[in-house]
Amino acid sequence: GCREGGGDMADSGKAEGLGGLALLGLVPGAPSCPHGPALLFVKTSQGREEGRRFYACSACRDRKDCKFFQWEDEKVSEARLAAREEYNRNHQPFFTHSQNVERYKNFVLLPLPKRRFCQECQQLLLPAEWEKHSDHQFLCNVSTAQLQSPSQLLYPLENKKTNAQYLFTDRSCQFLLDVIIDLGFRRVLSVGTPRLHEIIQSKASREEDFRVRSLLLDIDFRYSQFYTEDEFCHYNMFNHYFFGGEAARETCRKFLCQDNGQRVIMVTDPPFGGLVEALASSFKKLMAMWKETEKEGHNNQEMPTFWIFPYFFESRILEFFPTFNMMDYQVDYDNHALYKHGKTGRRQSPVRIFTNLTPSMIVLPVEEGYRFCAVCQRYVSSGNQHCEICNSCTSKDGRRWKHCVLCKKCVKPSWFHCSHCNRCALPSHACEKTDAGCFVCGQAGHKRSACPSLSRA
């Protein structure tokens, strides 16, 4: 079962004792919170039979961010259902997307000195609204360039588990775009990648011969202030929920099927605290949407995809997408203290690109130290030496790994073979209880609180 998410959700609904959590997924008729249909989970305890099932918010793994919780077998009174609907309604954005589009048109017509953005409300202000925001901090003279880079105008929502808006650096963004263009893609479904979307949008508005188009699907509704309904859909990637209903779903479907669905790629950068299983389920639904639009041709193909995620989730991702491979390219982020390019050792970014495209097609920049391995037929980082025994370039983190004859595989340079555990580990590891396995990633040798898959910041 799915062991991620256990870190926080185990506290949901006063569930007793320590145990893992399994995600049962989206079920028909599930109750909804402000983030769309809730997901069904079951509490699991080692050595005991399955626990009680409950619904929790798909997007927020911390009850402080969304307090929705309901036992599956709970009878909910009419009054409580009505109160919940009222609550969900009240927690929707103040303006609709089409209202925001109208407001934007009016905003752009204003002379520069009258263009104000309220930093507290994260909202473009029209002169008639200044009074209401008079005691707030705001930016004046908002330029066209700023409007074309909303990800720099808006505060990043740095709640790691829900939004985790760590934004690509220009270097990573430019690299992704270059690869997309070199491979001949003309349309990009940008799922939770606002910075990639805006660089495509602004290039398209400036350069007449720039042919790439992008559609942004994102849970951050603030972007609806800057993009039309054809450029942005308010979307929750944990439950494949389009907040704009059928019309938004249709926008996405149409975008995927232009030019017979050819040359479209999905690029997605989910929050790293998110449940891999829930994400994979949504991405499969987006892929199915693309497939439905096919006239003929590549019937058994998957929609080309770049899923950007830390390398230590490799086995989880391959579980759901066996056709994917992990690239060595290190993706880094502007506003992330640790995930910066060019640092060495543990400070290198652990974020990689997982893709179903042929690895040899993805050329990594030689000037950043990547080289082509003729045996593996892919580009690898300079420290990633080809192991003759494994017959592959085995390093995952950019450092040179070493082969352990007893484990019959390559391991991190800092690991040593422990005769007690009969496996490689850090010299400082604790030998006892290594078979229990971590509740988050299922790997042995560390406790949930020390799981590397949770240490994003």
Kind plus residue range of the DSSP H or E element containing 178: helix 170-182
- How much is the pLDDT for 419? 82
Average the pLDDT over 217-243 and give the result. Answer: 96
Confidence of residue 251 (pLDDT cuts 50, 70, 90): very high
Q: What phi and psi values does residue 158 have, to the nearest 5 degrees?
A: -95, 25
pLDDT digits (tens, 9 = 90+) for 303-362: 999 999 999 899 999 999 999 999 989 898 875 555 444 544 345 788 999 999 999 999
Which of 318, 300, 299 minimizes the C-alpha distance to 309? 318
pLDDT at 404: 86
Q: How confident is the model at residue 180 (pLDDT cuts 50, 70, 90)?
A: very high
Q: What is the pLDDT of residue 80?
A: 94
pTM of the shown model: 0.83
Mean pLDDT for 133-144 is 92
| Averaged pLDDT for residues 246-262 | 85
Could you tell me the pLDDT band of residue 173, with boundaries at 50, 70 and 90?
A: very high
Looking at every residue in the chain, the average pLDDT score rounds to 83
Query: What are the domain boundaries of the chain?
Result: 21-91, 97-142, 170-382
Asked whether the beta carbons of 280 and 4 are under 8 A apart, the reply is: no
> CA-CA distance, 417 to 164, in Å (whole number)?
36
Q: What is the mean pLDDT of residues 90-97?
A: 93
Averaged pLDDT for residues 199-228: 94
Q: Which fold has domain 170-382?
A: Rossmann fold (3.40.50)
